[in-house]
Structure 1
Amino acid sequence: MNLAKTSLLSFIATAIKLVAGLVINKALALFVGPAGLAVIGQFQNAQGVIRTISQGGINSGVTKYTAEYRHNENAIVKLWSTSLKITIVLSLSTSAILFFGAEYFGRITFDTEEYSYVFIVFSFTLILYSVNQLLLSIINGLKEISTYISINITQSIYSLIFTTALIYFFHLDGALIALVTNQSFIFFIILWRLRNHNVVKLASFKCKFNSKAGQRLANYSIMTLVSASVVPISQMMIRNYLGETLSWDDAGYWQAMMYISTMYLMVITTALSTYYLPRLSEISDTTELKLELIKGYKVITPIILVLTVALFAMKEVVLFILFTEDFRPMLELFKWQLVGDFLKIMSWLLAYLMLAKTMTREFIITEIVFAILFVLLSIFYVDNFGLVGVSYAFATKYSVYFLCMFILMKKKFFR
Structure 2
Amino acid sequence: MTSLNAVVIIIRLIISIFVQRLLAVTLGEAGIAKIGQLRNLVQMLTSTSSLGIFNGIVKYVSENENDTKQLSKLFSSAFLFGAVGSIISGVVLFFNADYISVRLFGDAAFVNLIKCLSLLPPVIGLNRILYGLINGLSDYKKHAKIELGAYILSVVLLLIFLYYFNLKGVLFAIILSPLISFVVVLFIFFDKLKAHIKLQELSADFSFAKPLLAFTLMSFISTVLLNYIELDVRTTITDRINIEEAGYWTAMNFISKNYMVFSSSIFTLYVIPKFAKINTGSAFKKEVLYIYKTLLPLFGLGMLLVYVFRHLIIDIIYPNFEGLSELFKWQLLGDFVRLATLVISYQFLAKKMVWSFVITELISLGLFYGLSKYYVDIYGAEGVVMAHLYRYIIYFIIVIIAVWFYFKRNKKHV
The TM-score range, normalised by the shorter chain, is over 0.9
Q: CA deviation at 1:248?
A: 0.8
What's the counterpart of residue 3 of structure 1?
none
Asked if 2 retains the 8 angstrom alpha-carbon contact of 1:31 and 1:168, the reply is no
Q: CA deviation at 1:182?
A: 1.3
Compared with structure 1, are the counterparts of its residues 382 and 95 closer, same or farther at alpha carbon in structure 2 (3 Å cutoff)? closer
What's the counterpart of residue 226 of structure 1?
221
Q: 2:322 aligns with which of 303, 321, 328?
A: 328
In 2, the alpha carbon distance for the partners of 1:140 and 1:169 equals: 36
1:2-401 correspondence to structure 2 within 5 Å: 6-197=1-192, 200=195, 203-204=198-199, 206-325=201-320, 327-401=321-395
Compared with structure 1, are the counterparts of its residues 205 and 388 closer, same or farther at alpha carbon in structure 2 (3 Å cutoff)? farther
Q: CA deviation at 1:195?
A: 3.0
- Tell me whether 134-143 or 84-93 shows the greater mean CA deviation: 84-93
Asked if 1 retains the 8 angstrom alpha-carbon contact of 2:76 and 2:206, the reply is no
Residues 271-305 of structure 1 show CA distances to partners (whole Å, capped at 9, x for unaligned) of 11111111111222332222111111111111110
Q: CA deviation at 1:336?
A: 1.2
Count of matched residue positions in the alignment of Structure 1 and Structure 2: 409
Say which SS state the counterpart of residue 360 (structure 2) adopts. Answer: helix
- Tell me whether 189-198 or 328-337 shows the greater mean CA deviation: 189-198
Q: CA deviation at 1:360?
A: 0.7
Residues 88-135 of structure 1 show CA distances to partners (whole Å, capped at 9, x for unaligned) of 232133223323332232223223211011112112222222211211
Say which SS state the counterpart of residue 186 (structure 1) adopts. Answer: helix
Name the aligned partner's letter for residue 336 of structure 1. W
- Tell me whether 113-122 or 161-170 shows the greater mean CA deviation: 161-170
Residues 327-348 of structure 1 show CA distances to partners (whole Å, capped at 9, x for unaligned) of 1211010111110010000110
Asked if 2 retains the 8 angstrom alpha-carbon contact of 1:23 and 1:164, the reply is no
Compared with structure 1, are the counterparts of its residues 7 and 353 closer, same or farther at alpha carbon in structure 2 (3 Å cutoff)? same
Say which SS state the counterpart of residue 71 (structure 1) adopts. Answer: coil
Q: CA deviation at 1:231?
A: 0.8
In 2, the alpha carbon distance for the partners of 1:386 and 1:123 equals: 34
Q: CA deviation at 1:381?
A: 2.2
Q: What is the identity percentage for the equivalent residue pairs of Structure 1 and Structure 2?
A: 26
Residues 202-245 of structure 1 show CA distances to partners (whole Å, capped at 9, x for unaligned) of 52574113232111111111110122222112212221221112
Asked if 2 retains the 8 angstrom alpha-carbon contact of 1:55 and 1:87, the reply is yes
Name the aligned partner's letter for residue 133 of structure 1. R
Asked if 2 retains the 8 angstrom alpha-carbon contact of 1:20 and 1:159, the reply is no
In 2, the alpha carbon distance for the partners of 1:152 and 1:387 equals: 32
Runs of 5+ consecutive residues of structure 2 not aligned to the other structure: 408-412
Name the aligned partner's letter for residue 173 of structure 1. K
Tell me if 1:412 matches 2:406: yes
Say which SS state the counterpart of residue 329 (structure 1) adopts. Answer: coil
Compared with structure 1, are the counterparts of its residues 354 and 84 closer, same or farther at alpha carbon in structure 2 (3 Å cutoff)? same
In 1, the alpha carbon distance for the partners of 2:200 and 2:237 equals: 47
Measured on the aligned residues, the alpha-carbon RMSD in Å equals 1.7
- Tell me whether 245-254 or 8-17 shows the greater mean CA deviation: 8-17
Asked if 2 retains the 8 angstrom alpha-carbon contact of 1:230 and 1:368, the reply is no
In 1, the alpha carbon distance for the partners of 2:307 and 2:226 equals: 25
Compared with structure 1, are the counterparts of its residues 122 and 206 closer, same or farther at alpha carbon in structure 2 (3 Å cutoff)? farther
In 2, the alpha carbon distance for the partners of 1:97 and 1:239 equals: 22
TM-score, normalised to structure 2's length? Answer: 0.94
In 1, the alpha carbon distance for the partners of 2:89 and 2:237 equals: 30
In 2, the alpha carbon distance for the partners of 1:393 and 1:202 equals: 44
In 1, the alpha carbon distance for the partners of 2:380 and 2:89 equals: 39
In 2, the alpha carbon distance for the partners of 1:48 and 1:140 equals: 18
Compared with structure 1, are the counterparts of its residues 239 and 143 closer, same or farther at alpha carbon in structure 2 (3 Å cutoff)? same
- Tell me whether 394-403 or 88-97 shows the greater mean CA deviation: 88-97
Asked if 2 retains the 8 angstrom alpha-carbon contact of 1:9 and 1:149, the reply is yes
**Deviating runs (4+, > 4 A) in structure 1?**
none
